[in-house]
Amino acid sequence: MILPLLPLSHVFLGLTAIAWKASARATLIAALIIDISLLAMAFSPAAHWLSGLSVGGWVDVIGIRLTLDLLARDFLLLTVLLELAVVVYIWRQHVRPMFVILLQFLVGSVIALILSQDLFNIYVILELLTLVSFLLVAYDRRTFQIWASLKYLILASLGMSIFLLGVAVVYANVGSLGLAAIGQTVIADPHAEWIPLAAALLVAGVSVKAGILTFSLWLPDAHSTAPAAISALLSGLVIKMGVVVLIRLAAIFPLGLVLQILGGITGIGGAIYAMSSRDLKRMLAFHTLSQMGYLLIGMSTATHNAANGVLAYALAHGSFKALLFLAAGTAFDAVGSTNIAHMIHTRHLIPLRTRAALLLGTLAIVGLPPFDGYIAKAPLLAAAHGWANQAILVLIGIGTAASFLKLLPLFKGPYRRVGNDPAWQSYVILALPILLFLPIERALFGAAFVLPAMNWVIAMESLAVLGVGWLVFRIHRRTEARPPEGLLRLETATAAILLGFAAVYALLKFA
Amino acid sequence: MGWLNGTTIAMILFAIGTTALIVRRDLVIKLLALGLINSSGILFLISIRFRPQMVAPILPVPAWVPIADPLPQALVLSAIVINFAILALSLVFVMLLVERYHTTDCERIEHAVDTEKAAQESQAPEGDSQASDAERPHR
Amino acid sequence: MISRTVLLGLLPIIAGIALFQRRRLTAVIGMGLFSLVLTANYLLHSAPDVAVTEAAIGAALVTVIYMLAIRRTGRLLVVADEVPGLLAFEGDQPVGVEVDILGGFARRLGLDLSIQIVPHQDVETVLLRGDADLGAGGLSAELDARLHRSRDHLTTAWVRLRPKGGTDLDSEEIPTAKRCEYPGYFSDLIEAVQRNDPVEATLDMARFLAVSRNDLSSWSVTRLLSPRGYAFVAAPRRKRLRDQLTAYIDELERSGLLDDMIRRHLA
Amino acid sequence: MRRPVRTTLVVALSLLVCGIVIFDLAVSEAPLRPDDSVLLATKTGASNLVSAIYLGARLYDTLFEVLVFTVAVIGVCFYLSERPSTARPSAIPESHVLQASAQILFPLILLLGLYLTFFGHLSPGGGFSGGVVAASGLLLCVMSIGLDTVYRRLSGAGIERLEWALPMLIVAVCVLPLAFGRSPLSNLLPVGRARQVFGSPSILLLNILIGLKVLIGSWMVLHAFIRHRGEI
C-alpha cells in the first residue's frame, strides 16, 4: 500500500531543498536518513505488507501496480549503496545545491522504476531519468559535455518514442498495460501475430537506455565526459535501469536468442573498443558496454540461477565500476588528466588510497577469484549452456583482462604519501561489497547460489581467461589498430538504432 | 481508403522524422524532426484502436454508442508534456553550443568538439586553460 | 470520414515540406502549422482532451519558444583569412574595405554579416562544401570552376617572398603561381616573419604591405607579373548572390563610395 | 560515403522501419471495456473519462509528469540564468495593431485558461492545458505592455518559490489520504453529485494546483527564452 512513498519521499526532499534553498549538506543528510529507513523497510520481515493492489486502489486494468520483489530489493540495495558512496565522495567538495536536488530526483526516479510493473509508467519514469541525467552530464558546462549530453537526449528520446510505439501495440492487443496481464496474454497465445513486433519495438526502445550495442552509441561520450560522481552514478546505476526493464520484458516475451546475440555484440564490441582506448574514463565507459554483455547472456539463459546471477552481477558491477570512476575522478584532480600513459608517468602524484582503490576495482572487474566480479560471474559461467554462450563469456573476459592490464604499471612504486585523499571513505563503502560479496549474495539469493563460486574448475577457468587476456594484451600492444570512432557520431548512432530495431524484429519474427 | 488510417500516417510521419533527423545537419531542424517523431508516436497511440463511429469519452453517452478508449488519451497527455520538456531543454543546450561555436551545423560542431578534446589531451595537463583552438576561427 | 482522410493525408505533406526547408524560420512555422492540423486530427479522432493540450503546448508554446530562440534574420556567412586593410579584426570588430562592402551588401539583403576566419588555402574547400555563402580576404587567383567570382573591387599584384640563399627559381616559373600561398593563418605568417623563421610565401599586395612593416632584409622579394583584381567568390549554386554582389559593387563605384572606402583603409 | 548514396540509404532504412510496423501491425478485435471506464467515472465523479484516468486511476503517472515539467523548468532556468542575457530595451517588437489586439485578447485568453482548468473534469481541458493557455495570455501581455512591466509584477523569490512549492503540495495532496487510513493516491475528498463543478472535488483541486504550477512554470520558461532571445 505505501510503496509509492518510497520514490516520492526522495522527490519530495528534492523539491523541499529547491523551494527553501536548503544547504547541500542538510539535504544529503536527510536523503541518507530516508535511504536507511527505505532499506530497513524493504528488508524487514514485514515487507510483504508493502506490495498489494494497484496504486491508490484503483481498477486493476487501468491502475498502476508496484511490487517489491527480489529484483527490486537487489537494485534498491545497489541504489542506496551508490548514493551513499557518492554523497560521501562529494561531501568535502563545494557542490551547488542544484546538484544535490537533481541527485534526489535521480534516486527517486530510479526507485520508482525498479518498483514499477506498468509499461507506460516505465515510459514516463525512463523519460524523467533521461532528463535528469541529461542535466547532470553537462553539469560543468564544458562544451564537449554539452554536446555529449545533447546527443544522449536526442538518441534516448528517439528510443523512447520507439518504446511508446511498442506500448501502443501491446495495449491494442492486450487491453491493459500491467506487466502481469501482458504476461498472461502472451502465455495464453505465445504465437500471436502481434508479439514479434511489440517485443521488437519495446526491446529496441529500451536498449537505447540500457547500454546495448548498437543502440547505445551515445554512452561512451556521455559517461566519459561527465563529472566523476555523475559517471559513477550513470555507469553504476542509471544504465542498469534499462536492464531492469529488459529483465521484466524478458520474463514476458521469448527473447532468448535476441538477448544472446545482442549480448555477444555488446560484450565483444565494447571490449574491443575498450582495449584500444587510451583514456581511463573512456575505457571505463566502454567497459560499461562490455559488462552489459554478461548481463544479457545471463538473461538469455532462462534458469533460476542465471536470473539470480544477473542480479548479482548488476550489483557487483555497480560497486566496482562506481569505485573505478570515483577513483579516476580523484586521480584526475591529482594529475590533471585521465590519459593512461600520462597517469602512469605521474603515478607518484596520485594519492595512495586512490591507487589502492583503482587496483581493487581492476582486480574485481577482471574477475580474480576472491573478489565480487568473480563471485558474481561464476553462476553465469556455470549456468551458460551451449558453446556460443560460453564462448561469448570467455571472450568478454579476455577482452576485459586485456584492456585492464594496461593499468598495471600504475600500481608499481614509488609509494610516497602525497596530498590527502579527500574521499577515501567512499572507497571503503564501495570496497565493502567487493570484499564481502559472498555473505551478501548468500543472504539475498540463498546458499545454493554461491556454490559455483566455490567450484575450483570455474576458478581455474577464470584464471586461464586472465592468462589469455595477458597474451592478447602483449600482442595488441604492438599493433596500432583502432576501431573507427566515426560510429559514435550522431547520425551514425541514429541510423544504428533504426537498423538495430529492424534486426531485432527480423530475429523475433523469422528465427 | 481503408489503408489511409491514423497508424499508417503516423508511421509515415515517423519515417519522415527519422530521415530528417539523420540527413539534415542543422540542429534546430534535427530538434523539429525529433518533435515530429514524438508526435507520430502520439498519433499512433491515439488512432490504434480508434473506429470511425466512436465518440469522445465524455459522459453522458448513450449506452449503444461506442466510446473512444480514454486510457490512451490520458497517456498521451503525459507524452505531450514530456515532449515539451525535452524540446525546451535541448533548445537551451543548442543555445549554449551556438554561443560557443556560432553555428548550428551538427558536423561542424562535432568537428570542433573533437579538435577541442584532442587539444585538451595533447596539451600539458598542468595548464587547465579552457581557451582552445576552437575559439579562434569564429568571430 | 472524408475530412478525416484529407486531414490525415495533409500531415505527411506539411511535415515533409517543412522539414526540408532551407530556412529554419520557415521550417519552424511549417511545423507550427503541422501541429494545428494535428490538433484537428485529434478532434476528429474523438480525442478533444488531447486536441486541447496539443493546441496549447504543441502549436502555441513550442512554436513560440522556437521563434524566441532562433534568430529572426538569416546570416550571410563569409569565410576569409585576415588581410590587414581588406578584412581584419581589431579586437572583436572586423574592419577593412571588404568588410565595408560586405556589411553594406548584407544590410541591403536584410542579413546579419558573420565572418569566419579560416586559412587562405581552406576558403575554396569550405565554399565547395557549401558551409558558407561567400569567400573573401584578398582572393585574386582563379579558383575552382564551380565557384562564382564577382567583379573586382581593387587591383593588386603578387609578390614572392623567399629566404635569401635558397634555390632561385627561373623567372619563367613565376607566373605559374596560382594564388597566395603561405602556411596556415595569415597571423601565423606574420608571427613567423617576426621571429625570422625562413618561410616561403606568395602574397598579394595588401598582405605584402602588412608583412613589409617588418624587417625583410633576410628575404628576397620578387614581384610577379600579371596584375590581378581582388574579388569575392560565391559558393556553388549561389550564382544569383554573386550577380547581386557584382551589381552592388558597380553601384558603389558609380557613387564614389568605393574610392572613399579604399582611401580610408588603405591610405 | 557520398552524400546522395547516404541519403538514399537513410531513406531506405526509414522506409524499412515504417514498413515493418505498417505491414505487421496486428490489432485484436476484442471489444474495449467501457464498464471499467464508467465505473471509474462514478468512483471519481468526473464525467470526462480522460480526466478521471489522468488524475484518478493513473495519478501516479501524472505525478511523474509534473516532475518532468518541473525538471524542465529547473534545467532551463539553471542553464540560462548564469549567462549574460541579450540586453534589449524592449524584448518583443510591437506594432500598434498587435498591441491593441493583445489588449483585447488577453482577458479572453485568461478566461479560456480558467475555464479549461475549472471544468477540466466535465469537458475537455485540464490543469495542464489551462496553465499553458494562461501563460500564452501572459505572453500577449508582454507584447502589449512590455516585458519589464510584466516582469516587475511577476517576479521575485515568491513566485519562484511557489513554482517549487506547488509540486510539493501536489505530492502532499496525493499522499494525504494515508492520514485518513486510505491508500495514497486515492481520492482525497468525497465524491459529490455527478456533472457538477464540485462533483469531483479531488480532481478539481488537483487541476487547480497543476494549472497554477504550469502557469508559473511556463512563464518562467518563456521569460528565460525572451531574455535570451534570438541567440541561435
Dist. CA C4–CA C50, nearest whole Å: 16
| Domain-wise residue ranges, chain C | 2-69, 73-267
D135 inside 8 A of chain C by CB: yes
Per-residue pLDDT band at D84 (split at 50, 70, 90): low
- Rounded to the nearest integer, the mean pLDDT of chain A is 85
For residues C23-48, one letter each, b for 16 or more C-beta atoms within 10 angstroms of the residue's C-beta and e for the rest, the string is ebbebbbbbbbbbbbbbbbbbbbbbb
Three cell numbers at A83?
548514493
For residues A315-348, one letter each, b for 16 or more C-beta atoms within 10 angstroms of the residue's C-beta and e for the rest, the string is bbbbbbbbbbbbbbbbbbbbbbbbbbebbbeebe
Per-residue pLDDT band at C17 (split at 50, 70, 90): very high
Dist. CA A411–CA A428, nearest whole Å: 19
Dist. CA D173–CA D167, nearest whole Å: 10
Q: How far is the alpha carbon of D223 from chain A, nearest alpha carbon, in Å?
A: 19
**What confidence score (pLDDT) does residue B123 get?**
56
Three cell numbers at B44?
499512433
D221 inside 8 A of chain C by CB: yes
SS3 B53: coil
Nearest-10 crossing angle of helices A195-210, A239-250: 160
Instruction: Give mean pLDDT, residues A96-100.
Output: 82
Dist. CA C219–CA C216, nearest whole Å: 5
D53 inside 8 A of chain A by CB: yes
From the list A377, A274, A360, A353, the residue with the least C-alpha distance to A319 is A360
Inspect the structure and tell me whether chains D and A have 3 or more CB pairs less than 8 Å apart.
yes
D40-43: Cβ within 8 A, 24+ apart: D40/A58, D40/A59, D40/A62, D41/B59, D41/D194, D42/D191, D42/D194, D43/A58, D43/A59, D43/D187, D43/D191
* Chain D residues touching residue A189 (CB < 8 angstroms): none
Question: Could you say which residues from 30 to 69 on chain B have a Cβ atom under 8 Å away from some Cβ of chain D?
Answer: 48-49, 56-60, 66-67, 69
Instruction: Give mean pLDDT, residues C92-101.
Output: 84
Residue percentage of chain A with pLDDT more than 90: 19
Binding partners of A (≥3 Cβ pairs within 8 A): B, D
- Three-state secondary structure string covering chain C: CHHHHHHHHHHHHHHHHHHCCCCHHHHHHHHHHHHHHHHHHHHHCCCHHHHHHHHHHHHHHHHHHHHHHCCCCCEEEEEECCECCCEEEECCEEECHHHHHHHHHHHHHCCEEEEEECCHHHHHHHHHHCCCCEEEEEECCCCCCCCEECCCCEEECEEEEEECCCCCCCHHHHHHCCCCECCCCHHHHHHHHHCCCCCCEEEEHHHHHHHCCCCCCCEEEEECCCCEEEEEEECCCCHHHHHHHHHHHHHHHHHCHHHHHHHHHHC
Whether A329 and A227 have beta carbons less than 8 Å apart is answered as yes
* Chain B residues touching residue A505 (CB < 8 angstroms): none
What are the backbone angles phi and psi of residue A116, rounded to the nearest 5°? Answer: -75, 140
What are the backbone angles phi and psi of residue C109, rounded to the nearest 5°? Answer: -80, -10
B137 inside 8 A of chain D by CB: no
Q: How far is the alpha carbon of C88 from chain D, nearest alpha carbon, in Å?
A: 24
pLDDT tens digit sequence for C61-86 = 999 898 888 865 567 888 888 888 88
* Amino acid code (one letter) for A20: W
| Domain-wise residue ranges, chain B | 6-52+66-119
* Chain B residues touching residue A337 (CB < 8 angstroms): 121, 125
Instruction: Give mean pLDDT, residues A140-146.
Output: 85
Binding partners of B (≥3 Cβ pairs within 8 A): A, C, D
End-to-end CA distance of chain C: 76
Instruction: Give mean pLDDT, residues B1-21.
Output: 87
Of C12, C31, C45, the CB nearest to B47: C45
Of A61, A62, A173, the CB nearest to D27: A173
Question: Could you say which residues from 120 to 179 on chain C have a Cβ atom under 8 Å away from some Cβ of chain B?
Answer: 131
Three cell numbers at C256?
564614389
SS3 B130: coil
CB under 8 Å to A30, separation ≥6 — which residues?
A: A13
Instruction: Give mean pLDDT, residues A80-107.
Output: 85
How many CB pairs lie under 8 A apart between chains A and D?
Answer: 160
What DSSP designation does A238 have?
A: I
Task: Say yes or no for a CB contact (<8 Å) between C46 and B68.
Answer: yes
What are the backbone angles phi and psi of residue C149, rounded to the nearest 5°? Answer: -95, 135
* Chain B residues touching residue C15 (CB < 8 angstroms): 13, 16-17, 36
**What confidence score (pLDDT) does residue C231 get?**
86
Strand pairing of C228-234 and C148-149? antiparallel
Of B49, B96, B113, the CB nearest to A172: B49
CA dihedral for C168, C169, C170, C172, sign (positive or negative) = negative
* Amino acid code (one letter) for B128: D
Q: Which residue has the higher pLDDT, D230 or D141?
A: D141
Bridge partners for C149 per DSSP: C233
Q: How far is the alpha carbon of B113 from chain D, nearest alpha carbon, in Å?
A: 18
Q: Which chain B residue has the Cα nearest residue D4?
A: B23
Task: Say yes or no for a CB contact (<8 Å) between B95 and D7.
Answer: no
What DSSP designation does A339 have?
A: B
Instruction: Give mean pLDDT, residues D71-75.
Output: 92
Task: Say yes or no for a CB contact (<8 Å) between A147 and B48.
Answer: no
Three cell numbers at D21?
510496423
Whether B72 and A171 have beta carbons less than 8 Å apart is answered as yes
Instruction: Give mean pLDDT, residues A193-218.
Output: 90
Residue percentage of chain C with pLDDT more than 70: 90
**CA angle (A128, A211, B95) in 5-degree steps:** 50
Question: Could you say which residues from 109 to 168 on chain A have a Cβ atom under 8 Å away from some Cβ of chain D?
Answer: 109, 112, 120-121, 124-125, 127-128, 131-132, 134-135, 138, 141, 165
Task: Say yes or no for a CB contact (<8 Å) between D132 and C57.
Answer: yes
The 10 Å Cβ neighbour count of residue D105 is 18
Question: Could you say which residues from 102 to 131 on chain D have a Cβ atom under 8 Å away from some Cβ of chain C?
Answer: 116, 123-126, 128-129
* Chain D residues touching residue C65 (CB < 8 angstroms): 221-222, 225
**What confidence score (pLDDT) does residue A369 get?**
78
* Chain D residues touching residue B18 (CB < 8 angstroms): 10, 13-14, 17
Of D78, D164, D183, the CB nearest to A56: D183
Instruction: Give mean pLDDT, residues D125-145.
Output: 85
Residue C13 CA, distance from chain mean position: 33
How many CB pairs lie under 8 A apart between chains B and D?
Answer: 125
Question: Could you say which residues from 120 to 159 on chain D have a Cβ atom under 8 Å away from some Cβ of chain A?
Answer: none
Task: Say yes or no for a CB contact (<8 Å) between B89 and A146.
Answer: no
Task: Say yes or no for a CB contact (<8 Å) between D83 and B49.
Answer: no
What are the backbone angles phi and psi of residue D43, rounded to the nearest 5°? Answer: -75, -35
Q: How far is the alpha carbon of A137 from chain B, nearest alpha carbon, in Å?
A: 12
Per-residue pLDDT band at C52 (split at 50, 70, 90): very high
Inspect the structure and tell me whether chains D and C have 3 or more CB pairs less than 8 Å apart.
yes
**What confidence score (pLDDT) does residue B134 get?**
36
- Options 2.60.40.10, 1.10.287.3510, 3.30.70.1450, 3.30.70.360; CATH for B6-52+66-119 is 1.10.287.3510
Most confident stretch, A38-47, A299-308, D127-136: D127-136
Q: Which chain D residue has the Cα nearest residue A7?
A: D64
Per-residue pLDDT band at C256 (split at 50, 70, 90): confident
Confidence check: pLDDT of A356 > 50: yes
Q: Which chain B residue has the Cα nearest residue A488?
A: B110
Task: Say yes or no for a CB contact (<8 Å) between B76 and C48.
Answer: no
- Rounded to the nearest integer, the mean pLDDT of chain D is 80
**What confidence score (pLDDT) does residue C237 get?**
76
Dist. CA A361–CA A329, nearest whole Å: 14
**What confidence score (pLDDT) does residue D31 get?**
58
Task: Say yes or no for a CB contact (<8 Å) between B67 and D124.
Answer: no
* Chain C residues touching residue B50 (CB < 8 angstroms): 45-46
pLDDT tens digit sequence for A329-346 = 888 888 888 888 888 888
What ipTM score was computed for the predicted complex, to two decimals? 0.89
Q: Which chain C residue has the Cα nearest residue D131?
A: C56
Of A1, A120, A509, the CB nearest to D61: A120
Task: Say yes or no for a CB contact (<8 Å) between B38 and A157.
Answer: yes
Dist. CA C146–CA A438, nearest whole Å: 71
Of B18, B57, B86, the CB nearest to D37: B57
From the list B49, D19, B37, the residue with the least C-alpha distance to A197 is D19
Bridge partners for A178 per DSSP: A118
Task: Say yes or no for a CB contact (<8 Å) between D47 and B59.
Answer: yes
* Chain D residues touching residue A495 (CB < 8 angstroms): 10, 13
Bridge partners for C114 per DSSP: C77
- Options 3.40.640.10, 3.30.470.20, 3.40.50.720, 3.40.190.10; CATH for C73-267 is 3.40.190.10
Three cell numbers at A402?
586485456
Confidence check: pLDDT of D154 > 90: no
**CA angle (C66, C71, C72) in 5-degree steps:** 95
D232 inside 8 A of chain B by CB: yes
pLDDT tens digit sequence for A4-57 = 788 888 888 888 888 887 777 888 888 888 888 888 877 776 666 555 556 766
Per-residue pLDDT band at A156 (split at 50, 70, 90): very high
Q: Which residue has the higher pLDDT, D76 or A409?
A: D76
Bridge partners for C77 per DSSP: C114
Confidence check: pLDDT of C213 > 90: no
Binding partners of C (≥3 Cβ pairs within 8 A): B, D
Three cell numbers at D96?
500598434
From the list B94, A143, B26, the residue with the least C-alpha distance to C131 is B26
**What confidence score (pLDDT) does residue A50 get?**
57
Three cell numbers at A492?
551514425
Three cell numbers at C252?
558603389
pLDDT tens digit sequence for A288-303 = 999 898 889 888 887 7
Dist. CA C245–CA C108, nearest whole Å: 10
SS3 A66: strand
Bridge partners for A374 per DSSP: none
> How far from C215 is each of C167, C190, C206, C211, C212, CA to CA, in Å?
21, 11, 17, 9, 7
**What confidence score (pLDDT) does residue B122 get?**
65
Q: How far is the alpha carbon of C194 from chain D, nearest alpha carbon, in Å?
A: 38
B101 inside 8 A of chain D by CB: no
Per-residue pLDDT band at C167 (split at 50, 70, 90): low
The 10 Å Cβ neighbour count of residue A137 is 26
pLDDT tens digit sequence for A426-445 = 888 888 888 877 777 777 77
Whether D232 and B28 have beta carbons less than 8 Å apart is answered as yes
CB under 8 Å to A78, separation ≥6 — which residues?
A: A236, A237, A240, A314, A315, A318, A319
Bridge partners for C231 per DSSP: C139
Strand ranges (E), chain B: none
CB under 8 Å to C210, separation ≥6 — which residues?
A: C83, C84, C85, C186, C190
Confidence check: pLDDT of A385 > 70: yes
Strand pairing of C112-117 and C93-95? unpaired
Whether A82 and A241 have beta carbons less than 8 Å apart is answered as no
Q: Is the peptide bond before D89 cis (omega within 30 degrees of 0)?
A: no
Question: Could you say which residues from 249 to 308 on chain A have a Cβ atom under 8 Å away from some Cβ of chain D?
Answer: none
Q: Residue B92, exposed/middle/buried by CB under 10 A (0-12, 13-18, 19+)?
A: buried
pLDDT tens digit sequence for D93-113 = 556 676 777 778 888 888 999
